[in-house]
Amino acid sequence: AYQADGVHVGIPLGSQLGVFDGAVGKILLAGLTPAAAASAIGKAPIPAHTGNTLVEPAELLAAVDGARAQGWAASIQELNENNAVAAGIQGPSGDIEAIIFALGFPRQLTPEAIPEVGAMLRAVADEIAATCGVVAANNP
C-alpha cells in the first residue's frame, strides 16, 4: 500500500472535472471543433476558481486553440494553487477517450518546466493510443 511521505498533491478517486477546470478542461474543449468549443464556453459564465482562472471567453478560447495546436494544455494556478499539464488520448472515433496529466506544486512543476512536461505527456498519450491501435492525428 502507498504511504505518502510529507505533503503531496493529487485528485481523489471519483473526482469529476469539467470544461472550466484548468488543464483538463482545456483539453476537453480542445477535443471539440472550434465552433463547439466556442459554444460550450459561451453557454454560461466561466467560474473563477482562483485569481488566475481564465474567465474571459476570448482568453479561454485562445488557450484552447493553443492546446489544440500543441496537443497539450497547462493550468498555472487556475483551478487551485497547483499547476497542471494535460494531454488527451483519442479513441478510434477521434474523440477524447482518456486524459493523462501531471499535477504539482508551483515550486515543483514550474512554468519553465511545463513545455517539456507537455511534450512528454503528448508523446506518452500518442504511445498509449498507438498501443490501442489508434493512429495519432494531431491529438489534443
**Is the confidence at residue 1, as pLDDT, over 50?**
no
Cα–Cα nearest to 18, from 35, 41, 51:
41
Give me the sheet containing 96-104, strands edge to edge: 73-76, 83-90, 96-104
Per-residue pLDDT, 59:
96
First-last CA distance in the chain: 34
Q: Which three cell numbers stand for residue 52?
A: 488566475
- pLDDT band for position 4 (cuts 50, 70, 90): low
**Is the confidence at residue 50, as pLDDT, over 90?**
yes
- Mean pLDDT computed over 6-29: 81
How far is the C-alpha of 85 from the C-alpha of 70, rounded, in Å?
A: 12
User: Can you give the pTM of this predicted structure?
Assistant: 0.86
How far is the C-alpha of 72 from the C-alpha of 81, rounded, in Å?
A: 20
Of the two residues 136 and 131, the one the predictor is more confident about is 131
Write out pLDDT tens, residues 70-127. 999 999 999 999 999 999 999 988 899 999 999 999 999 999 999 999 999 999 999 9
Strands 96-104 and 73-76, bridge-based pairing? unpaired
